[in-house]
Amino acid sequence: MKPAVATSADPLRADLAELVRLSEAARQLQLRPGVVRARQAGQYVSRLRGRGMEFDESRPYQPGDDVRNMDWRVTARIGKPYSKLFREERERPVLIAVDARAPMFFATRGRFKWVRAQQTAALLAWTAFQAGDRVGGEIFAESSHLELRPRRGKARVLRFLKNLADQPPSRAPAPVSLEAPLRRMHRTAHPGSLVALVSDFRGFDAAAERWLIRLARHNDLMLVQIHDPLEARLPESGRYRISDGRRALTLDTGARALQRTYQARYRERVEHLRTLCRQHRMTWLSCATDEDPVAVLRRVYGRSRG
């Protein structure tokens, strides 16, 4: 099968037309319970809980009812135990948060991390829309964010994609903590939602971790790490000139101790995130700047041919 991502496209950003075209590639995917594939190297996959549950009514307690569903307000008012009944939501809310901080506008191979994040978010949005789910999103940078509550319909998806396409590059000197975006997502996400965070996970500190764990208690979480090969491993021994468009520096990779320390720090950071995913039933995916996001998502969420 030919790659869904054209290699001749702009390496710096994906325009709206490209994000719209990904609706066809999204037909290869499904974000539903029971479609989880075998684990791939570097990935951890959790089984989705399914669509959310909405409160329906209260009725007198019956033997066998889950005590966690006791309606204590009605019980106190009437003086007899009552249980809450829930019904399954017909449309699951899907919230897609996309990192647009400065480090995302970088690549040494393929296309910018931001482009891979744009493509991944677009694929998830189209897949959710095609399944009849409600789609919402957040695009966040160091000093700004755009929040779109989950809504049904193609218009919501197109609005989300247009904002992705129009997002300007960040020029902030350093990434800020992921605490604020995760705190907002915790407030926005309806219990039972599928929440996807597409990021390089710079600035994932202890405060951000606490909000991520809270978010995972009542939602299905998917973490998609976007990374450049240079972040995992320095190039072979030599002197390399690196620039962010404003500043330039020369990197000497000849010292073996530097190579080992650099790789160890990256592995430690990624392994910590993967361990959190295993512990809290989150899905972990990783996409490099020279990889096709369609292929990455298809490993886990690809539609079966049978």
Report the pLDDT value the prediction gives residue 221, as an integer from 0 to 100: 95
Report the side by side order of strands in the sheet with 194-199.
145-151, 134-140, 93-99, 194-199, 220-227, 283-288
My answer on whether 78 and 190 are in the same domain is no
Q: Is residue 159 part of a domain?
A: yes
Query: pTM (2 decimals)?
Result: 0.79
Report the pLDDT value the prediction gives residue 158, as an integer from 0 to 100: 98
Handedness of CA 37, 154, 137, 101 (dihedral sign): positive
Last residue of a domain, one of 35, 62, 88: 88
Model confidence band, residue 37 (pLDDT cutoffs 50, 70, 90): very low
In this structure, the strands spanning 248-252 and 239-243 are antiparallel
My answer on whether 127 and 211 are in the same domain is yes
pLDDT in tens, 92-149: 899 999 999 999 999 989 999 999 999 999 999 999 999 999 999 999 999 899 999 9
Nearest of 306, 294, 298, 302 to residue 23 by alpha carbon = 294
pLDDT at 6 over 50: no
pLDDT at 72 over 50: yes
Specify burial of residue 279 (Cβ count, 10 A radius: 0-12, 13-18, 19+): exposed
Last residue of a domain, one of 88, 115, 141: 88
pLDDT at 56 over 90: no
The CATH number for 146's domain is 3.40.50.410
My answer on whether 146 and 217 are in the same domain is yes
More confident residue, 221 or 56: 221
My answer on whether 84 and 101 are in the same domain is no
Whether 124 and 92 have beta carbons less than 8 Å apart is answered as no
Q: What is the mean pLDDT of residues 231-255?
A: 69
CA 301 to CA 40: how far, in whole Å? 12
My answer on whether 63 and 205 are in the same domain is no
Report the pLDDT value the prediction gives residue 175, as an integer from 0 to 100: 72
My answer on whether 74 and 192 are in the same domain is no
C-alpha radius of gyration, the chain, whole number: 21
Model confidence band, residue 3 (pLDDT cutoffs 50, 70, 90): very low
**What letter does residue 102 receive in the DSSP assignment?**
G
pLDDT in tens, 148-184: 999 999 999 999 999 999 999 988 877 789 999 999 9
My answer on whether 121 and 229 are in the same domain is yes
My answer on whether 199 and 140 are in the same domain is yes
More confident residue, 98 or 49: 98
Q: What is the mean pLDDT of residues 78-94?
A: 80
Report the pLDDT value the prediction gives residue 91, as an integer from 0 to 100: 74
pLDDT in tens, 264-302: 888 999 999 999 999 999 999 999 999 999 999 999 999
My answer on whether 77 and 106 are in the same domain is no
Report the pLDDT value the prediction gives residue 273, as an integer from 0 to 100: 95
Model confidence band, residue 204 (pLDDT cutoffs 50, 70, 90): very high
My answer on whether 200 and 114 are in the same domain is yes
CA 7 to CA 135: how far, in whole Å? 28
My answer on whether 68 and 137 are in the same domain is no
More confident residue, 234 or 7: 234
pLDDT at 89 over 60: no
Report the pLDDT value the prediction gives residue 46, as an integer from 0 to 100: 64
Buried b (16+ CB within 10 A) or exposed e, 81-106: ebbbeeeebebbbbbbbbbbbbbbbb
pLDDT at 36 over 50: no
Domain count across the chain: 2
Model confidence band, residue 85 (pLDDT cutoffs 50, 70, 90): confident
Q: Is residue 289 part of a domain?
A: yes
H helix or E strand, kind and range, residue 213: helix 206-217
Last residue of a domain, one of 88, 113, 144: 88
**Residue tagged 């904002």 (tokens):** 163
Q: To the nearest whole number, what is the mean pLDDT of the chain?
A: 85
Q: What is the mean pLDDT of residues 9-32?
A: 92
Q: Is residue 241 part of a domain?
A: yes
The domain in which residue 176 lies consists of 16-50+91-301
